[in-house]
Amino acid sequence: MTTCPARYDTPVRPGPTSLAPVLPRGFIAVVVAPAAAVTLALAPGCGSSRAGDVAPQVVPASDRPAAIPVSVPRLDGPGDVTVGRPGARPTLVNLWASWCGPCREEMPTVQRFARANPGVRVVGIAIDDTPEAARAFAGEVGVSYPLGVDADDAMGPTYGVTGLPTTFLLDPQGRLASTWSGPVTVPDLEALVASLEAGS
């Protein structure tokens, strides 16, 4: 995956997109819905875009593709962080990097959401970052939810990530319900989860 700050020149408008997991070569990827809110191959959130410009959207349950399980080393302790498997709660996966300005602005928002919504499993995964830099920034924010570091870039190719920050919402069955490109707000996230619960 191409990295973000000076390496991207044009920001993508923030908001929900329809990126289903990217399947291995030789398979046909499932497109969940039209991606009218995003121009691919450009980095969301690396310019002056604001969150909240587009209403959150959740894919109907019958149309959700199964997420591909990905495990990465934990940033905040031993072991791995795994996403993409069924669980008791919805899972919010936030992809970020310590060098990404909008990611740095967004992370306190994700932390506030995580504290206020214990019914949602929140996971943060640092992309194209060093464990040292990512851990230092997360420590500044005081992140309490599980963190991982994707040093091998497993998330980018698997989930079709085009830039940072990017946030995925998975339903309890491990299916991809929504993809948000660009910075999010707490109301954005709460609206996504409410929509998921209403239509699950």
* 191 is a domain residue: yes
- Please indicate, yes or no, if residue 8 is contained in any of the structural domains: no
Residues 6+ apart with CB under 8 A from 82: 69, 70, 71
Residues 189-194: what's their mean pLDDT? 94
Answer whether residue 10 is part of any domain.
Answer: no
Residue 140 belongs to some domain of the structure: yes
- Specify the pLDDT at position 6: 29
**Is 45 inside a domain boundary?**
yes
The whole-model pTM stands at: 0.77
Tell me whether residue 75 is in a domain.
yes
Into how many domains does the chain fold?
A: 1
pLDDT in tens, 147-178: 999 987 888 888 888 899 999 999 999 999 99
Average pLDDT over residues 132-155: 93
Asked if residue 133 belongs to a domain, the reply is yes
Residue 77, in any domain of the structure: yes
Domain limits at 94? 15-23+35-199
CA distances (Å), origin 102, targets 4, 5, 32: 10, 10, 27
| Residue 54: pLDDT band with limits 50, 70, 90 | low
CATH of the domain at 90: 3.40.30.10
Three-class secondary structure assignment of the chain: CCCCCCCCCCCECCEEECCCCCCCCCCCCCCCCCCCCCCCCCCECCCCCCCCCCCCCCCCHHHCCECCCEEEEECCCCCEEEECCCCCCCEEEEEECCCCHHHHHHHHHHHHHHHHCCCCEEEEEEECCCHHHHHHHHHHHCCCCCEEEECCCCHHHHHCCCCCCEEEEECCCCEEEEEEECCCCHHHHHHHHHHHHHHC
